[in-house]
Amino acid sequence: MYSIGQVAKIFDLPISTLRYYDKEGLFPDMQRKGNQRIFTERELECLRVIACLKKSGLEIKDIKQYFVWCREGQATYKFRQEMFNKQRQEIEYEIKQLQATKAMLDFKCWYYEQLLNQNAI
């Protein structure tokens, strides 16, 4: 079991972000001791999923929907699959865009290296 401060350090997140996630219902089974949140491995795994989904470009409202679907069970497998397929397509598009950008930067680096080498002679 972890305190909110410990979890904030583990995930390098502000405590306010963890409170926001809780307020948004992303930790529905979180235990409390008095007024303090108690994080278990379950919440830590939720945070790993949240981090991944945020990096993929999903908004909190969509991540919240994903967790709702998870609680609803097998009937929502198709919705979850569609969500992940859509995000994967978006990430693949972004990767292609970045690869094109990198190719241009690689060319410019090579080009100026050639110019500098010619001037050094």
User: What average pLDDT is seen over the chain?
Assistant: 93
Please tell me the predicted confidence (pLDDT) of residue 121.
65
- Angle value at C-alpha 103, between 98 and 107, nearest 5 degrees: 150
pLDDT in tens, 87-98: 999 999 999 999
Q: Which pTM does this prediction carry?
A: 0.77
CA 116, CA 54: separation in Å to the nearest integer?
A: 42
Q: Kindly state the average pLDDT of the residues 46-52.
A: 94
pLDDT in tens, 95-114: 999 999 999 999 999 999 99
